[in-house]
């Protein structure tokens, strides 16, 4: 219960609103709140009492929430487990030698699968996008880059958090009280048309409505998966989606197929979650529902600032990741790699490697002719040779700019 320690309009609160979110860089975290809170009194360390806010749900075998309670609580955590440890247990590679803990974990896994099936039936879209994991040594140097695993324990926590966020948002909305929502609009027609052009170019047989509902879009995605579901196709589908943002007005969350959605589960690292806790406490624990108008006045600015802060954090995280990736590939100048063309521009095309790192093949390096962008914008051709999004190509790294976080490539046959 971070809102117990961070009071409204205190110096801590104002700084948290300014930061908006914790920033997760390749080699460090810039926390939204001081570490004495984020890693101390507000962290669920094992064996110590912590003030918490609980959303307790009863979920039936169909995945429906049949009842729920939101209340102030104290939690004394008994175990600190890592994703790796739990994934290893689920894979039957290791044991915790604690029957009570193991039984609880298996029940959690069963519930997670029930919730996931329910959400998929609603139209939840899981693009299964994997990211790069940058491995850094004790001197701060990048020593390896691997695809980041997203296994059962990570998905399980995500399933539980999504359900808690939905229940909380729905609870407040039904009481007609001011609240901050995490909203995600449906894809606009132009992006849908672009995706239709991509799948047409790739000769994939799937129908996508131009004004889809979540379930219709989800069915189209599943149809595309049957033909092709490599990383390139995942990125193309993800680009079709609108950006999620914060708003005091609820329009639902298209990607999660949620009629009401909030961010409630991470008040240590996101300001919208912190103010959500503050509002819930006032409305339902202190019975000050008349404060709805007060929060209603604050929320438009808080939502906008939080959305902007989130985008700035994402941009910074990507920029630092690009720098660390370029640093790693300084060691591979002149080396050959296989990759996939993920986007095509007038000036060349971008190629991504299996570890989610990529670079640019500039049009000036294509020495066999005068290349032009096709009318649909998905290919470069000189009339004989064609480079199309989704093609696999062999490339050689010719230069790296660590400062700019850029990697330059040439097609291997032209090197």
d(CA 290, CA 134): 49
**What interhelical angle do 231-240 and 214-227 show, nearest 10?**
160
Asked if the model's pLDDT at residue 220 lies above 70, the reply is yes
Asked if the model's pLDDT at residue 208 lies above 90, the reply is no
Asked if the model's pLDDT at residue 316 lies above 90, the reply is yes
What is the band of 200 on the pLDDT scale with cuts at 50, 70, 90? Answer: confident
3-state class of 213 per DSSP? coil
Residues 90-94 have a mean pLDDT of 95
pLDDT at res. 396: 97
Token reading at 84: 């790796």
Which residue, chain included where needed, has tokens 């199309």? 388
Asked if the model's pLDDT at residue 27 lies above 70, the reply is yes
Token reading at 195: 């995706």
What is the band of 126 on the pLDDT scale with cuts at 50, 70, 90? Answer: confident
pLDDT at res. 414: 84
Task: Report how far Cα 258 is from the mean position of its chain's Cα atoms.
Answer: 16
Is the model more confident about 414 or about 1? 1
Give the residue from 343, 325, 192, 184 showing the smallest Cα distance to 263: 184
H or E stretch at 17: helix 11-19
What is the band of 413 on the pLDDT scale with cuts at 50, 70, 90? Answer: confident
Averaged pLDDT score across all residues of the chain: 93
d(CA 176, CA 384): 63
Residues 188-209 have a mean pLDDT of 86
What is the band of 61 on the pLDDT scale with cuts at 50, 70, 90? Answer: very high
Token reading at 282: 């006032």
What is the band of 369 on the pLDDT scale with cuts at 50, 70, 90? Answer: low
Residues 225-249 have a mean pLDDT of 85
Asked if the model's pLDDT at residue 285 lies above 90, the reply is yes
pLDDT at res. 368: 66
Contacts for 311 with CB less than 8 Å, ≥ 6 apart: 243
Per the CB < 8 A criterion, the answer to whether 33 and 2 are in contact is yes
State in Å, rounded, how far the first CA of the chain is from the last one. Answer: 59
Which residue, chain included where needed, has tokens 């600032």? 305
Asked if the model's pLDDT at residue 94 lies above 90, the reply is yes
Residues 264-277 have a mean pLDDT of 97
3-state class of 96 per DSSP? coil
Task: Report the C-alpha dihedral over residues 270, 273, 277, 279, rounded to 10 degrees.
Answer: 110
- The angle formed by the CA atoms of residues 276, 60 and 273, to the nearest 5 degrees, is 10
**Torsion sign (Cα): 277, 283, 286, 291:** positive
H or E stretch at 142: strand 142-147
Asked if the model's pLDDT at residue 3 lies above 80, the reply is yes
Give, as one character, the DSSP assignment of residue 244.
P
pLDDT at res. 209: 86
The pLDDT > 90 percentage for the chain reads: 74
d(CA 36, CA 58): 34
Asked if the model's pLDDT at residue 133 lies above 70, the reply is yes
Instruction: Please tell me the pTM assigned to this model.
Output: 0.90
Give, as one character, the DSSP assignment of residue 42.
T
pLDDT at res. 232: 72
Residues 199-227 have a mean pLDDT of 85
pLDDT at res. 339: 93
């Amino acid at each position: 219960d971070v809102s117990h320690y961070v009071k409204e309009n205190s110096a801590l609160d104002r700084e948290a609103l300014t930061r908006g979110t914790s920033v997760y860089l390749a080699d460090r975290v810039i926390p939204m709140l001081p570490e004495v809170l984020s890693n101390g009194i507000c962290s669920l360390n094992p064996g110590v009492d912590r003030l918490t806010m609980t959303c307790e749900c009863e979920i039936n075998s169909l995945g429906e929430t049949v009842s729920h309670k939101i209340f102030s609580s104290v939690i004394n955590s008994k175990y600190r487990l890592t994703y790796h440890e739990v994934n290893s247990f689920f894979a039957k590679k290791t044991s915790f030698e604690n029957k009570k803990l193991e039984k609880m974990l298996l029940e959690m896994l069963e519930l997670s699968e029930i919730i996931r099936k329910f959400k998929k039936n609603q139209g939840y879209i899981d693009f299964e996008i994997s990211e790069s994991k940058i491995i850094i040594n004790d001197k701060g140097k990048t020593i390896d880059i691997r695809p980041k695993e997203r296994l059962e324990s990570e998905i399980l926590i995500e399933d539980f958090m999504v359900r808690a966020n939905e229940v909380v948002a729905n609870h407040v909305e039904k009481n007609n009280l001011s609240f901050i929502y995490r909203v995600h609009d449906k894809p606009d027609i132009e992006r849908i048309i672009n995706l239709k052009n991509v799948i047409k170019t790739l000769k994939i047989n799937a129908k996508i409505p131009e004004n889809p509902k979540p379930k219709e879009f989800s069915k189209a995605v599943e149809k595309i998966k049957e033909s092709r579901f490599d990383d390139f196709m995942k990125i193309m589908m993800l680009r079709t989606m609108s950006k999620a943002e914060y708003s005091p007005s609820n329009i639902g969350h298209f990607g999660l197929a949620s009629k009401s959605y909030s961010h409630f589960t991470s008040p240590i690292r996101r300001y919208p979650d912190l103010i959500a806790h503050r509002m819930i406490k006032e409305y339902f624990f202190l019975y000050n529902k008349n404060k709805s108008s007060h929060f209603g006045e604050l929320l438009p600015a808080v939502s906008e600032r939080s959305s902007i802060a989130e985008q700035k954090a994402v941009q910074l995280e990507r920029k630092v990741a690009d720098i660390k990736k370029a640093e790693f590939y300084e060691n591979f100048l002149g080396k050959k790699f296989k990759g996939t063309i993920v986007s095509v521009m007038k000036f060349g095309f971008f190629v991504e490697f299996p570890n989610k790192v990529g670079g640019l093949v500039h049009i000036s390096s294509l020495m066999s002719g005068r290349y032009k962008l096709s009318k649909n914008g998905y290919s470069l051709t000189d009339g004989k040779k064609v480079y199309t999004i989704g093609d696999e190509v062999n490339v050689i790294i010719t230069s790296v700019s660590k400062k700019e976080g850029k990697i330059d490539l040439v097609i291997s046959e032209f090197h």
